[in-house]
Amino acid sequence: MPGAKKTRKARRTFSLSRETVKYLESLRKQSQMESMSAVLEDVIRQQQEIKEMERISASAKHYYDSLTPEEIAEESSWGDLAAASFPSED
């Protein structure tokens, strides 16, 4: 990518099943990536994003589960006020 920040890479060796290598190679061809390392980094980045979204979701769930009925009513009132601030789509 033009303008992409270059980072130092750590060289590692991994043993993977033939099926996994075949799958990664198919991903490389599909995405037209230059290397298997790029494919592996992309797969790992996607997994990190999934985990981060799960963490955020769990945090939001915990927050809303911890609200008292009074706090829920107040949050709902603020939501109604915000919704009323937008023009009608009719």
Nearest CA-CA partner of 25 in 13, 36, 16, 9: 36
Domain range spanning residue 50? 18-83
Residue at 5 is within a domain: no
Total domains, the chain: 1
CA atoms of 32 and 85, how far apart (whole Å): 46
Residue at 23 is within a domain: yes
pLDDT of residue 3: 58
pLDDT of residue 90: 66
Greatest Cα pair distance in the chain:
60
pLDDT of residue 46: 97
Residue at 13 is within a domain: no
CA atoms of 26 and 24, how far apart (whole Å): 5
Return left, alpha or beta for 32; rule: phi > 0 is left, psi -120 to 50 is alpha, else beta.
Answer: left
Are 20 and 5 a contacting pair, CB within 8 Å?
A: no
Tens of pLDDT along the chain (90 residues) come to: 555 677 888 999 999 999 999 999 999 999 999 999 999 999 999 999 999 999 999 999 999 999 999 999 999 999 999 988 888 776
The single residue listed with the structure tokens 């599909």 is: 30
The model's pTM is: 0.67
* The pair of three-digit structure tokens given for residue 76, joined into one six-digit string: 């709902």
Residue at 3 is within a domain: no
Residue at 90 is within a domain: no
Residue at 2 is within a domain: no
